Chains A and B, each alone.
Chain A
Amino acid sequence: METFTVELITVNNCGVLHHIAGIFAKCRLNIETLDLKPLPEGLSRMRITLRGDRTLRTHLLRLLSKLYDVKSAAQIK
């Protein structure tokens, strides 16, 4: 288990954060820190820190990248 950060570029709309948080809840993952910032062209950047192992990390990123409001999902250092 280690702490890691994922960065998401998403549509900046109501309900998007709810949807993303729901994915974390579904995987029984606790969000430790959350940073949100609006970007140009109706987008938003989210940085979310959590604890998990590598298998879970891969699965989480795949689930998040499937969402239609998510443009990109990646782990960052």
Chain B
Amino acid sequence: MIRTGANIVIESLCRNHVETVFGYPGGAVLPIYDELYKNQHRIDHILCAHEQNAVHAADGYARISRRPGVVIATSGPGASNLVTGIATAYLDSVPLVIITGNVNASLLGRDSFQELDITGVTRPIVKHNFTVTSVRELAGVMDAAFRIALEGRRGPVLIDIPKSIQCDSCSEKNYCSPLYFTHPLRQPDLTAAVSALKDAARPLIYAGGGVVAACAFHELESLAEHLDAPVVFSMMGLSAMSCDHPKNAGMCGMHGTAASAELLDKCDLLLALGVRFSDRAAGDPEKFRKNKRIIHIDIDHSELNKNVTVDMGIRGELKETLTRVLELLPRQSRPLWHDFLEKVKGTPRPCEKKSLVPQNLFATVAEYCGPDCAVATDVGQHQMWTMHHYPFRRSGALLTSGGLGTMGYGLGAAIGASIAQGGKRVVLFTGDGSFGMSLQELATAVTYRLPLLIVICNNGVLGMVRQWQTMFFRKRYSCSTLNRQTDFPALARAFGAEGQKITTLEELKAALSHLPADRPLVLDCRLDQDEFALPMIPPGGSVEDMITQKEF
């Protein structure tokens, strides 16, 4: 059968079980969009308002569904608009397949209209990319892209297809596969690791985004119970275990809980699972590894000994590796260590303040939305408040930009996550600064009738920047006060959504009691501009330097 390049793209998407793509059309992808039109019954296309948000939406889709998110964009500015979203996905190891059009092959390298060397631009921020030079290799490239995106440590793959290739035809018999190499994992030797775990007096498990990516939730819980060991989390791993689990000691790192900092300080063996010891989580590497042995298990061997020197580095797929560890590890009891965990965790006290503060805002939203609701965040103080105060009970349902820390990530991600779940409600916690970066995507949420709950923590400032300026720059508030007159509820209504201004807890509860089923609701929640995200360990500090009270 003779197929055009554009048709091969669509057939390849269907062959790889793609049901939804996100994108924005343009001249260089018109042939593909023409094929999409003919195949509307097979693939849904979500038309976003900006290509960056399209990538964030595909990212959110991928995190919730565990399938690759797919994005289609045109050449030139369409492709360059994808860069931040691709980098976000790369640093958080999210599988995406990004298809960009380009000018005709004969025009490449001649500064043609809307020509951009997107493969050159994105090479540092993708797992791999392809520039297709012949329609005969296109089917093989498409299949290879999906395989690469999903195997090992997941990540984005970009395919750049010149328009002439999209229009060229070839027979299926003439398909050829690109030359590339997979990196199969060997079974690691776990004997030494299991022996170290058995002998440890105060073992601590440190779970990261890799646990979520591997869906090793059950294995993590079983391991914590087998070892009788507490679990601390990086931000990306926080949804790997229910907050109600007795072994859950919360997030560690710069904005981690005091309990996790104490446990890290006192443990004699740290079992690190799917983490990369980023500076935000580990702080000073030498102080971090003091007085403890570290076993690090990760699917990516380049993460072993990258930031923190470990005693045992094991390359392995987490779910499979933890299953084998559990087979070899006898059930143990550590009553003294368990008592220490209970002591440092203390008894959580509900917030008694009647005014609207982060402590009661997040808990109240969680109460009305239920434990199954996925949660997206943007970046800033509200992100840290979400980690501190939102009770995560559903595994893997947190969507946040960890590695790149992309403001504007949240709305696109919430859209993608809602679509991945057939239009279910997703909560987005954002700030007035972050929301301003992507609010045009409200139009998309309204068009596709998505019941998003968008909670804007509106303090009139770039909160995290202001916090650092207060703590480290002697209150020299340089360009962090927004001084804007934006009426977010009116803006929401202008887009076709609903919106309300919230100044009290009672107003919040009243609004949450009437959540619309088929459109977004924007809650403009007014918070004090000097509210801090605490506790906090200053950069390069340790548990002794933790700031728990606002002293500024």
Contacts and interface: CB of A to CB of B under 8 A. Distances in A.
Interface of A: 11, 14-15, 18-19, 22, 26, 42, 55, 58-59, 62-63, 65-71
B181 interface: yes
A43 to B, nearest CB: 8
Contacts of A18: 120, 123
Contacts of A22: 123-124
A58 B120 contact: no
A28 B300 CA distance: 21
A72 B293 CA distance: 32
Contact of A58 (B124, B183, B305): B305
Contacts of B304: 62
Interface residues on B, range: 10 to 19
Contacts of A69: 128, 180-181
A15 B123 contact: yes
30 contacts: A11-B179, A11-B180, A14-B131, A15-B119, A15-B129, A15-B131, A18-B120, A18-B123, A19-B123, A22-B123, A22-B124, A42-B179, A59-B306, A62-B301, A62-B302, A62-B304, A63-B302, A65-B183, A66-B183, A66-B300, A66-B302, A68-B127, A68-B128, A68-B148, A68-B180, A68-B181, A69-B128, A69-B180, A69-B181, A71-B181
Contacts of A19: 123
Interface of B: 119-120, 123-124, 127-129, 131, 148, 179-181, 183, 300-302, 304-306
A22 B131 CA distance: 18
B292 to A, nearest CB: 20
Contacts, number: 39
B126 to A, nearest CB: 10
Contacts of A65: 183
Contact of B181 (A15, A58, A70): A70
A59 B305 CA distance: 8
Contacts of A58: 305
A26 B302 CA distance: 14
A63 B183 CA distance: 13
Nearest to A42: B179
A30 B124 CA distance: 17
Contacts of A11: 179-180
B407 to A, nearest CB: 24
Top 10 nearest A-B pairs (CB, nearest first) are A62-B302, A68-B128, A68-B180, A11-B179, A19-B123, A71-B181, A22-B124, A63-B302, A42-B179, A62-B301
A11 B178 CA distance: 10
A1 to B, nearest CB: 19
Given A58-B305, A70-B181, 4 more contacts: A15-B123, A15-B129, A22-B124, A26-B124
A22 to B, nearest CB: 5
Nearest to B120: A18
Contacts of B302: 59, 62-63, 66
A42 B177 CA distance: 13
A58 B313 CA distance: 13
B36 to A, nearest CB: 28
Nearest to A21: B123
A67 B128 CA distance: 7
B307 to A, nearest CB: 10
Contacts of A68: 127-128, 148, 180-181
A58 B309 CA distance: 13
Contacts of B120: 15, 18
A26 B304 CA distance: 18
A67 B119 CA distance: 15
Contacts of B124: 22, 26
A19 B202 CA distance: 44
